[in-house]
């Protein structure tokens, strides 16, 4: 049986950029929602797992992007670092606090977007 491989090069990098962007937008909007929604405590338990959900969603895109040949160890460093930082933000969410967690996750998202972008550009050039 032939293994599924997307037709266009950079498919997983585009998926990774999209998921990382959604993660970054989530982190930017959560403080706004906390300030505006008086019933936020009802959603707090759900929010506690969003970083884990993003980590689990982004991990396959990182793996499949790295599995394809790339020319730079910088890409590997950015993707692994970004994914690790998002996991650490989830793991240490109570110690970091709400704004610390959002800031750390934004750093991870930016690293992921940058790594996927460099990887995508190296494949399309």
CB 58 within 8 A of CB 79: no
pLDDT of 82: 92
Task: Name the pLDDT band for 45 (thresholds 50, 70, 90).
Answer: low
pLDDT reading at 84 higher than 90: yes
Tell which residue, 63, 48, 49, 84, has the closest CA to residue 15: 63
More confident residue, 101 or 69: 101
Average pLDDT over residues 97-122: 85
Q: Which two tokens stand for residue 49?
A: 């797992």
């Amino acid at each position: 049986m032939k293994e599924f491989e997307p037709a266009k090069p950079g498919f997983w990098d585009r998926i990774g950029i999209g998921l990382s962007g959604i993660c970054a937008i989530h982190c930017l909007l959560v403080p706004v929602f906390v300030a505006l929604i008086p019933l936020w405590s009802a959603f707090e338990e759900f929010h506690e797992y969003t970083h884990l959900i993003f980590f689990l969603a982004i991990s396959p895109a990182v793996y499949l992007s790295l599995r394809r040949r790339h020319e730079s160890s910088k890409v590997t460093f950015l993707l692994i670092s970004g994914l690790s930082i998002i996991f650490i933000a989830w793991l240490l969410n109570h110690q970091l606090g709400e704004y610390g967690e959002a800031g750390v996750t934004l750093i991870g998202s930016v690293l992921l977007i940058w790594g996927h972008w460099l990887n995508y550009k190296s494949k399309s050039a």
